[in-house]
Amino acid sequence: MAAAKVSLRHSKSGEVKEAPVGFSWTTLCLGFIVAFYRNDRNWSFLQFLLIPTVLPWFIFPFIYNKLYIRSLLSAGYIALDEESRTLIAGMGINVSPG
């Protein structure tokens, strides 16, 4: 489990989601099931297709949480507080003040 989490709120519906930051231990252990559970169908499908190459277990645990946060931001979520904005900016993702 990641040590830090960012809180994101959808700009129209108001739905709040927490997304972990950093290495994804759950993706290391469970693979594509994590993305499927988070309703991140595109990354889940890609990881599922790559299972025979064992690539998901070597690369995705390092990058999946960042990919998930980017997909939430592109879907209309915004950082809920200043700490979340700081963590997202520290990952190299441009975030506008909400």
pLDDT at res. 54: 79
Average pLDDT over residues 55-67: 89
Average pLDDT over residues 45-61: 87
User: pTM of the full predicted structure?
Assistant: 0.89
Residues 6+ apart with CB under 8 A from 62: 23, 24
* Alpha carbons 98 and 91: distance in angstroms, whole number: 18
Average pLDDT over residues 40-65: 89
Radius of gyration of the chain (CA): 13
pLDDT at res. 94: 80
Element (H, E) at 70: helix 60-74
Residues 6+ apart with CB under 8 A from 81: 7
| 13 against 96, higher pLDDT | 13
